[in-house]
Every structure is written in C-alpha cells, then in structure tokens.
Amino acid sequence: MKIRLTKVGKRFNREWIFRNLDFEFHSERSYAITGPNGSGKSTLLQIIAGATTFNEGDIQYFLADKKINAENVYTNISIAAPYLELVEEMTLMEFLQFHSSLKSWLPSVDSKKIISIINLEEAAQKQIRYFSSGMKQRVKLAQAIFSNVPVVLLDEPCTNLDEEGIILYKTLVNDHCKNRLLIVSSNDTQEYDFCEENISINKYKKKSNNSNHDYI
C-alpha cells in the first residue's frame, strides 16, 4: 500500500493547522507523526484515514500500484485512537466477533486467540462498559492491529496503559505490523521509538495573515 500526500493543508475557521504537506508513505515501513499537544497530529492521522476532510491539496491511495477510489479506502485501513469509542453494551467476545464481520482478522488469529494474546480471558464474557481504561485500550489496539488490512494507524497508542500494557503494545507491533504500513501519531518517544521515519508536524506550520487568498 502507498499513500501520497501532495500540498495537503487543513484549517479550523481561519487558522491553518498545517499547509503544503508533501509526503509519501510506503508498505512495510513504519512512520511517526510527532509534535506537541494540539499541533494537529491526530487531525493528520484522521485525514490519512479518510475520516476528516482537508482544505487544500490531494491524497492518493495505491494498492499494488493500482489507485484506490477514496470511498473504498476504509476497507484497507484500521485505526486505534483514544477518542474512538467501543460498543460498550457488548461483551468483549461479542464486540470482537462483530468487528470481524466488518473486517476479517489476520489469518493467524481468531477472536478467542486475540483475547488470550491481550490477556483478557477472564473478561471475555464481560460487558466492555465495566472494563478499566487500560483494558479498553488493549481492545482498541487489538481490533486495529489484528484487522487484516495493509495500513494500521495508531494515535497515542499507549494511552491508559500500564508498564505491562506498554510491553504488550510493542510486542503486538513487532509481531504483526512488520509487513504492513504503520503510522503512529504521538509525542511520547516510547510509543514510536521503533519507527523508521519521523514526520514533525511543526515543519508544516504556517502563520496566518490577513491575505484573503489564505482563507478562500
């Protein structure tokens, strides 16, 4: 999978979050999008996922050198982020089985095995609403990383994780993301220290001015 961003810019109201972002992401590589809180890292990740619109520029997606239509991009991408909610009325097993009906799991796993890998066997039949924040984060990571898609996007992946959870996160990435395109959005080094390339969002900041063409 290849994702090409050309002169991409995003603004909120009259303020540009970033502009003129040129970058190309390639399969079997890992990338970190870094910058301080509020800098636009999560916004950029959502734009790449096709979940948020951008104001200028172009994004193209290619699978085996064949261009993918924008409306079909979601079938090739999974994402985990603190602001994305789980279906808390479901038990863990119900949620994973529901998710697998939308996006299949990697060939090496099924819902039962995933629960074992993330060490939540005792909570398999428990409603997610009763999970701790750390347990929920494990589930969010699992549904993203174990989905059988070529692109995995992770936004602040260690949110709410304890030391054991962070070790699990790095194991999941090492064992299941090497042959895919992985993009991590974070300002915490331990979440992306394995990434091969680092894209600093600050490089694409542009101060606004009173020129009308900046806002049209």
Give the whole-angstrom CA distance, residue 105 versus residue 114: 9
Burial of 68 (0-12, 13-18, 19+ CB in 10 A): middle
pLDDT digits (tens, 9 = 90+) for 115-163: 999 999 999 999 999 999 999 999 999 999 999 999 999 999 999 999 9
Band of the pLDDT at 207, cuts 50, 70, 90?
low
Range of the domain at 155: 2-214
d(CA 37, CA 126): 34
Domain count of the fold of the chain: 1
Amino acid in position 27: S
pTM over cut 0.85: yes
Q: Tens digits of per-residue pLDDT, 48-77?
A: 999 999 999 999 999 988 999 888 899 999
Integer CA distances (angstroms), 49 to 70, 110, 133, 183, in order:
10, 25, 24, 10
Residues contacting 79, CB < 8 A, separation 6+:
45, 49, 51, 144, 152, 153, 154, 155
* CATH code, domain with 47: 3.40.50.300
β-bridge mates for residue 34, sequence order:
200
C-alpha 86/C-alpha 92 separation (Å) is 10
Residue 120: what pLDDT?
Answer: 98
Q: Where would I find the H helices in 25-156? A: 41-49, 92-102, 111-117, 133-145
Dump pLDDT digits (tens) for 82-101.
999 999 999 999 999 999 99
C-alpha 213: how far from its chain's center? Answer: 32
